[in-house]
Structure 1
Amino acid sequence: MTTYGYFLSCEEHGPRELVRQAKAAERAGFEALWISDHFHPWLDEQGQAPFVWTVIGAIAEATSLPITTAVTCPLVRTHPVIVAQATATTAALTGGRFRLGVGTGEALNEHVIESRWRPAAERLEMLEEAVGLMRELFTGKLVTHRGRHYQVDTARLYTLPDEPAPIYMSGFGDKSIELAGRIADGYVSTGPSAESVEKFRQAGGAGKPTLGGLKACYAADEASARKTVHRLWPTRGIKGEASQILPLPRHFEQLAASVTEDEAVAGTPCGPDPEVHARALREYVDAGFDEVYVSQIGPEQDAFFDFYQRQVLPLVRG
């Protein structure tokens, strides 16, 4: 049975609003939560970037839903030892409802600590070492680590959950998907690719959870929804490696100026037709994802939750 969850956008909303949305999502019948982890939004127009761990702590007390970061980068901006401590505390606070989603990150967030943006192969190598280090710390033992990328001196986590939080990994290219299958407890993606799910399973991910996320925009009419997507998320139309290597929102704004409305909206269900939204969710189910998360773009959050509760979720749940 597919799990349907809500994807909280830290780029668009402040902390109190995110907590309010989490509660609304639970009332609407969503079964789990994703939350993004950013230091900067993609665009100034989006306007927010709260510290995700503070928000998760509040959500943990406000709802009973499982929570997954989509995704945290434990490489540069936040050292893996600190991510391990945050993860263990959050898992203890939630009674085991927390899953750590990790990835190799974007310069947009990571450059604030180190301006050199490392090649993808090096970041994958760092992520593999970081995940191994965090798993060591989750044992509660005293850890000294002398690795290629990280040096840790006699670190021990004292606050631990009953069971270590699962670590899920985002992956898009073949090398990252192979690494996810080998080292992660589950797979995270933002595209309905059956090929990626199959590669993950073949690389060691057979039987492990697969989680997919998408954005949507409910509005009373499709035209206004499309305009909202184009205003807030034109970055969805930017191709190639730019999303990994550009350091500032203004750089994304410069590229986004050439993105058309059709390019921004491509693949995003827009407007008031429940079948359009249900069809987009089914693409992830058909691709083999066990959990599907959807994020409403723009301010009409309450209308979205009402729409999904009454019309969309009943369609996909049959």
Structure 2
Amino acid sequence: MTTYGYFLASEDHGPRELVEQARLAEQAGFDSLWISDHYHPWLDAQGHSPFVWSTIGALAQATSLPVETAVTCPTVRVHPAVIAQAAATSAVLLQGRFRLGVGSGEALNEHILGGHWPRAAVRLEMLEEAVDVIRRLLTGDRVSHRGTHYTVENARIYTLPDEPVPIDVSGYAPAATDLAARIGDGFATMGPQADLLKRYREGGGSGPSSCGIKACYDTDQDRAARTVLRRWPNMFLPGELAAVLPEPSHFEQATELVTEEHVRNGPMPLGDDPEAHVRSLAACAEAGFDHVYLSQIGDDMTGFFDFYRTKVLPQLPR
């Protein structure tokens, strides 16, 4: 059975807007929520980046849906011991409806304290150690740890949920997917990447799998394409650029190469044809993913949620 959740874009909306979108998502029939964890937006045009843990506290009071970070980097900007406490508190507020999604991060968010941004293999090594520290702290035991990357001294989390917080690991390339299979309670990626999901399963990963995608609902398809080009052209950048560029201005320079044709020829549904939106979500389900999360690009959130409530979600395979 596939479930369909809504992906709250912290880069593109302020905290009050995100909470209102969560309410609308629940009313529209979405099953769960993802929320991004950023310090910067990708581009100045997106214009936001609220502190995710404050927003999650508000979500816990505004909706009964499950919530997951997509994804938190627990390695550089915030020490894993602090992430463990934040995850525990979030799970208590959400009465067990919280999952911690983690990944190796991007320089865009993690370089802000002035430290060296490591190469990918080292980032994955740091992530593995961080997840181990977080899991140990989430038991409620007193933890002291001196590892390759992190030190924890006499730490204990007192406010804990009744059940352990599941930790899902994101993978956008083979090495990260292998790590997810080895240490994750679940696997997350962007797009219907059946090859990565197969790799996760063959590597021993047995937890739930999640796929994130984007759409631009608008009554005018041309306007939708222009909106995506203005607000989210970074989606079309290839390779590791998203992980290594350090500032929104660098993304703006790189995305000058992205054209409206790239947007129109991409897999993202544009406009108000229900079948196009259904096909996009169904592709993730057909690739084998257990959970699909969709984010709307654009300002007509009321129109979007009404469109999905009446014309898209009822048609989806479950």
TM-score range, shorter chain: over 0.9
Q: Is the 8 A contact 1:76 1:114 kept in 2?
A: no
Distance 2:227 2:181 in 1: 36
SS of 1:44's equivalent? coil
TM-score (norm 2): 0.98
Structure 1 residue 49, shift from structure 2 partner: 0.2
**For residue 259 of structure 1, what is the amino acid of its counterpart?**
V
C-alpha distance after superposition, 1:47-96 (max 9, x if no partner) = 00000000000001100000010000000001100000000011011110
Superposition RMSD on alpha carbons, in Å? 0.9
Residue segments in structure 1 that go unaligned for 5+ positions in a row: none
Q: Is the 8 A contact 1:233 1:264 kept in 2?
A: no
State yes or no: 1:214 paired with 2:213.
Answer: yes
State yes or no: 1:94 paired with 2:94.
Answer: yes
**For residue 199 of structure 2, what is the amino acid of its counterpart?**
K
Q: Is the 8 A contact 1:88 1:159 kept in 2?
A: yes
**For residue 253 of structure 2, what is the amino acid of its counterpart?**
Q
Distance 1:278 1:3 in 2: 13
Structure 1 residue 261, shift from structure 2 partner: 1.2
Structure 1 residue 258, shift from structure 2 partner: 1.5
Q: Is the 8 A contact 1:101 1:170 kept in 2?
A: yes
Which stretch of structure 1 is more off in the superposition, 40-49 or 236-245? 236-245
State yes or no: 1:165 paired with 2:160.
Answer: no
Distance 1:314 1:167 in 2: 30
C-alpha distance after superposition, 1:10-29 (max 9, x if no partner) = 00100000000000000000
C-alpha distance after superposition, 1:277-311 (max 9, x if no partner) = 00000110011100001000011111000000000
SS of 1:197's equivalent? helix
Aligned residue for 1:289?
Answer: 289
SS of 1:61's equivalent? helix
Q: Is the 8 A contact 1:236 1:263 kept in 2?
A: no
Aligned residue for 2:225?
Answer: 226
C-alpha distance after superposition, 1:84-138 (max 9, x if no partner) = 0000011011110000000000000000013411000000000000001111001
Aligned residue for 1:80?
Answer: 80
Aligned residue for 1:60?
Answer: 60
**For residue 71 of structure 1, what is the amino acid of its counterpart?**
V
Distance 2:215 2:93 in 1: 31
**For residue 305 of structure 1, what is the amino acid of its counterpart?**
F
- Structure 1 consecutive aligned stretches of length 4 or more whose deviation exceeds 4 Å: none
**For residue 212 of structure 1, what is the amino acid of its counterpart?**
C
Which stretch of structure 1 is more off in the superposition, 197-206 or 306-315? 197-206
SS of 1:310's equivalent? helix
Distance 1:317 1:132 in 2: 36
SS of 1:86's equivalent? helix
Query: In percent, how many aligned pairs have the same letter?
Result: 57
SS of 1:111's equivalent? helix
Aligned residue for 1:260?
Answer: 259
Distance 2:175 2:317 in 1: 34
Q: How many residue pairs are counted as aligned between the two chains?
A: 317
Distance 1:291 1:36 in 2: 16
Spell out the pairing of 1:1-318 with structure 2 (5 A cutoff): 1-206=1-206, 208-265=207-264, 266-317=266-317
Structure 1 residue 244, shift from structure 2 partner: 0.6
Structure 1 residue 315, shift from structure 2 partner: 1.0
